[in-house]
Amino acid sequence: MKAVILAAGEGTRLRPLTETMPKPMVPLIDRPLLELLVDVLRRQGFDEIIIATAYLAPQIENYFRDGFHLGVHIAYSFEGYHLDGRAIREPLGAAGGLKKIQDTSGFFDDTFAVFCGDMLIDVDLGRLLEFHRAKSAVATMLLRDVPRGDVSKYGLVEIAEDGRIRTFQEKPAVEDAVGSTINAGVYLFEPRALEWIPSNRPFDIAIDFFPALLRAGAPFYGLAVPCTWIDIGRISDYWRATQMILNGEVNFIQMPGKLVAPNVWTGINLAMDAAKVDIRGPVSIGSSTKIENGVTIIGPTVIGRNSVIETGARIDSCIVGDYTRISGFADLRHKIISGQFCVDQHGRSVDLAHSGYTFLVDDARERRRWDADQEALMNFLRAEVLTLG
């Protein structure tokens, strides 16, 4: 069976994480979100997958290649063109991207699935497919109920008793919302649904395509299916998803590495004397990382690969990126941090280099070149308790 994962967006609401990587490549523990979506599709029989790309597309293509190592066949549809050897992004919108694929190759020859590339999900697509076919639908979307206070973040859907979609509200104010049932970003389409999408122009899936189906009176349905579903649209969502995985609340994701102590998982080539480090799980530590004596790590926390945590550092409920050095006088709490940035769980960000905080956190691959005055400052700071806020 065939599927498309929509991965062309810039992910502006996830900045600064997405300044150097596409949103679907943001890691959850040690695997990109996009890989988890591919795995969900593979387990349910979708073995031909096209990933629609634009922003930083080579990162996705170089990681997934042809999909062989993941047990699927993967191809790519780049939304843009090349000019003077440079890739120029020209996003077509989610629906426009689907039309481009069909116009180019006629890829869609039967019912196919479409996943938005910014969610953590585990859903029984078989139930959705059975409903879709029973209704002779041209399009069916997965529905989800959310707390009413959250409706302004999503596209709301109003359905009839038989599941037929009546109306949409795109991110309404709470007081104007017709309900609390939302579009969950998973769709089943028949190839003929693409006839309502114009060629060679941007066309949004929620703002343009779905209203076109409604105006045409096409058989367009929605169904709520029990599932694990976490939107990863904002920093707070990313934070919550990571916490849930570490706490064992997402049962379809296996923790990586070796279990070396209760709720503590590590990769190989780890430099750490466990007897001289205070670790309180759940904690995941990546391979080739160095944890010096006298460090305190309190979970839920992720320490990325090839990182260095120096003597005296305290890390409490943090996500530490790959190749990150944390100095021994740093006290980090509820932060997402790398060698370039520090952001709290609500999205408040600090640019480390421009703010002069590289003495607290920097890239582990950088060689430090401190003069005598800087070394004296470091010795002074080591006698203080510093918290990066």
How does residue 281 score in pLDDT terms, banded at 50, 70 and 90? confident
147 cis-preceded (ω within 30 degrees of 0) = no
User: Which of 90-104, 124-138, 325-339 has the highest mean predicted lDDT (pLDDT)?
Assistant: 124-138
Which residue bears the tokens 């629906």? 95
Q: Which two tokens stand for residue 278?
A: 């205070």
User: What gap in Å lies between CA 170 and CA 155, rounded to an integer?
Assistant: 4
What pLDDT does 342 receive?
A: 77
Mean pLDDT score across all residues of the chain: 84
User: What gap in Å lies between CA 226 and CA 233, rounded to an integer?
Assistant: 21
- Is 89 within 8 Å of 79 (Cβ atoms)? yes
Tens-digit pLDDT profile for residues 50-73? 999 888 889 999 999 999 999 999
178 against 379, higher pLDDT: 178
Written as one letter, the residue type at 142 is L
User: What gap in Å lies between CA 50 and CA 138, rounded to an integer?
Assistant: 20
Q: Which residues contact 203 (CB under 8 A, 6 or more apart)?
A: 92, 93, 95, 96, 99, 197, 209
Query: Residue 84: phi, psi to the nearest 5?
Result: 55, 40
What pLDDT does 388 receive?
A: 45
User: What gap in Å lies between CA 341 and CA 61, rounded to an integer?
Assistant: 25
- Judged by average pLDDT, the poorest of 4-13, 67-76, 92-101, 175-184 is 175-184
What pLDDT does 3 receive?
A: 95
How much is the average pLDDT of 204-212? 89
- Is 77 within 8 Å of 117 (Cβ atoms)? no
Q: List Cα–Cα distances, 255 to 129, 264, 268, 270, 363, in angstroms.
A: 30, 10, 14, 17, 25
pLDDT of 374 strictly over 80: no
- Is 95 within 8 Å of 208 (Cβ atoms)? yes
Query: Residue 194: phi, psi to the nearest 5?
Result: -70, -10
77 against 89, higher pLDDT: 77
Q: Which run of H or E residues covers position 129?
A: helix 125-134
How much is the average pLDDT of 176-184? 80
What pLDDT does 84 receive?
A: 63
User: What gap in Å lies between CA 271 and CA 284, rounded to an integer?
Assistant: 14
pLDDT of 282 strictly over 90: yes
Closest to 274 in 3D by CA, of 327, 315, 264: 264
Q: Which run of H or E residues covers position 50?
A: strand 48-53
How does residue 373 score in pLDDT terms, banded at 50, 70 and 90? very low
How does residue 193 score in pLDDT terms, banded at 50, 70 and 90? very high
- Is 347 within 8 Å of 308 (Cβ atoms)? no
Chain-centre distance for alpha carbon 279: 27
User: Could you please report the per-residue DSSP string of 297-311?
Assistant: EESSEEE-TT-EE-T
What pLDDT does 386 receive?
A: 44
How much is the average pLDDT of 153-164? 85
Tens-digit pLDDT profile for residues 309-350? 999 899 999 999 899 888 887 888 888 887 777 787 776 766
Q: Which residues contact 387 (CB under 8 A, 6 or more apart)?
A: 330, 331, 332, 333
